[in-house]
Amino acid sequence: MIIDKLYESVEKKGHVCLGLDTDLSYLPEDFLKKYENIEDALFNFNKKIIDATIDVVACYKVQIAYYEAYGLKGLSAYKKTLEYLKSEKVISIADIKRGDISRTAEMYAKAHFQGDFESDIITLNPYMGFDSIEPYLPYIKDNEKAIFVLLRTSNKGSKDIQYISNCENKRVYDFVGEKLSEMGKDYLGESGYSSIGAVVGCTTGFEGKEMRNKFGSTFFLIPGYGAQGGTAKEVSNYLSHGNGGIVNSSRGILLAYKKDDNGEKNFEESARNASITMRDDILSQLK
C-alpha cells in the first residue's frame, strides 16, 4: 500500500514533505531568463529542486492552485512535475482540497487518480459530508492510492468551524477524526496506518499528543512548521515512535537561496541544505 511506502520513506529519509508551491516570483531572475515560456520555467525549477533533495525528503506535495493561476501552461508544468516524480519513483501528493458529492466527486477522483494529473495521494475537504469522500475509496482499494482529509488545520480561521463544541466539549474536528478513523479501518497497511490520513496543523502543539493517542492509526500530513510558527518540538507531539506523519514546508525551502550568498546561482543547493536542516531539527526532538 502507498501508505506503507510513505511510512518506509519517513524511516529512511526523515519527515520532510517538500511543497512545490511554485510561483514565478520565486524563480531567480537569471534562471527565469533562460526560458521563453512559463511551462518550461516552472517545471525546470521544480526538477532542479527535486533532483537536489530527492534523497533527503520523504515526499513532495504539489499545490495545484499555483499552476492553475497560469492557465494551461501552468497546468502543463503541474502535469510534467507529477510525471517526473512518478518516473523517479517518489511519492507525490496533489494538494487539491476537493470537497463535493456524487458524480462531481467521481470526476475529481478520476481526474487526479488517473490520467494527466495522476498522483499517489490527494487532499480532500470533508466539511460537505462524508459522502464527499466515498467516490475516492475504490481508488484506495484497487489502485494503491491514499487521501489526506482536512481535520484540524493551522490557519487562524480553523476556530470558526473546526473548534465548535457541544455540551460535552467535543469539537467538530473530534467528530471528523473519529469518522475518518472508523472509515480507515478497512484500509490499514502493514505499518499499522490507514490510507485515509488527515491534515493536522502543528501550530497548536499542546493538542498533538491528544490527537496522536486518539487517532492512532491515522497518518498525519502536518503543515504549519516554520513560517506559520510551528516548531519541531510541537511536531514531535503528532508522531508515534518517530513516525506516523510528514511535515510540509514550501516557501521555507524553495526560497532558502535568498538567505545565502550567491544563492541565486545555486538555489537547488540552498533548498537541499534547508531540507536537511529541517529534517535534522525534527529528528533532534525525537531522540
Q: Which of 6, 97, 87 is nearest to 50 (CA)?
A: 87
> 79 an active-site residue?
no
Alpha-carbon distance of 170 to 194, in angstroms, equals 24
Cell numbers linked to 218: 491515522
CB atoms closer than 10 angstroms to residue 120? 23
Task: Give the distance, in angstroms, between the CA of residue 27 and the centroid of all CA atoms in the same chain.
Answer: 21
Residue 124 φ/ψ, nearest 5 degrees:
-135, 155
| C-beta of residue 196 within 8 angstroms of C-beta of residue 149 | yes
* Alpha helices per DSSP H over the chain: 2-13, 29-32, 38-53, 65-68, 71-87, 102-113, 137-142, 158-161, 172-184, 208-214, 232-236, 251-254, 267-284
Is residue 75 within 8 Å of residue 81, measured between CB atoms? no
Distance of alpha carbon 249 from the chain centroid: 9
Residue among 47, 73, 79, 97 flagged as catalytic: 97
Q: Taking CA 230 as the corner, what is the angle to CA 227 and CA 233, rounded to the nearest 5 degrees? A: 140
DSSP class of residue 199 equals E
Catalytic sites, residue numbers: 97
